[in-house]
Amino acid sequence: SAVISQKPSRDICQRGTSLTIQCQVDSQVTMMFWYRQQPGQSLTLIATANQGSEATYESGFVIDKFPISRPNLTFSTLTVSNMSPEDSSIYLCSVRAGEPYEQYFGPGTRLTVT
Amino acid sequence: GNSVTQMEGPVTLSEEAFLTINCTYTATGYPSLFWYVQYPGEGLQLLLKATKADDKGSNKGFEATYRKETTSFHLEKGSVQVSDSAVYFCALSLTGGGNKLTFGTGTQLKVEL
């Protein structure tokens, strides 16, 4: 298994600003994932971040809006840029660890854009 | 494409009642199947999984059987408790798909005394 922490746990931001979310894992992992959970909805994958390479974005998500860094095997950041109220969501970091096909999730960052 | 369909909630049960949450999937290939649980105010936790047909995943009294013939992975528990109140997500992941999870919409369960 893996223990994942995220910072901040929640934030309220103004329209047009940017927020960087940090994800820290207690062990080295190859693959990290960023998800978005909009209010009352399921999870949607934003991008996959492998250490040492560019993040791979899912359809509907672009690097200019959601730049991701992955400087080492235990850490990643997701920035939500030029925010609008539609970006209000919970953002979750996830890693693959342990047995094959198992993913573990951080506690999430609850973002409210006003 | 790949998709997961869950029964809509919310589901409200009395304590000790039997629980079934239906989940069916569509996938190009042979997926692994998962149930995740999200307790109020918390992140997702892996509840159980099955990686091939006829496998049964089980944990904390919950179980689900991978049924390839009906493309289903229904979650069951014989006797629910108030502490089981949460949102339950069915998900799939494809071999070679980079471990990307495709989630259902989630089913909220509320257990009352």
What are the two backbone dihedrals, phi and then psi, of residue A71, each rounded to the nearest 5 degrees? Answer: -75, -25
Contact at CB, B43 and A105, closer than 8 angstroms: yes
pLDDT of residue A99: 66
The chain B residue lying nearest A41, using CA atoms, is B105
Q: How far apart are CA A52 and CA A63, in angstroms?
A: 16
pLDDT of residue A51: 82
Contact at CB, A43 and B93, closer than 8 angstroms: no
Q: How far apart are CA A64 and CA A72, in angstroms?
A: 21
User: What proportion of chain A, given as a percentage, has pLDDT over 90?
Assistant: 77
pLDDT of residue A54: 86
What are A50-99's pLDDT values in tens digits? 887 889 999 999 999 999 999 999 999 999 999 999 999 999 999 987 66
Q: How far apart are CA A46 and CA A48, in angstroms?
A: 7
Contact at CB, B98 and A104, closer than 8 angstroms: no
pLDDT of residue B28: 84
Read off the pLDDT band of A42 (50, 70, 90).
confident
**How many CB pairs lie under 8 A apart between chains A and B?**
51
- Least Cα distance to B35 among A98, A91, A102, A2 occurs for A102
The chain B residue lying nearest A49, using CA atoms, is B98
- Least Cα distance to A93 among A25, A7, A35 occurs for A35
Q: Which residues of chain B have pLDDT under 50?
A: none
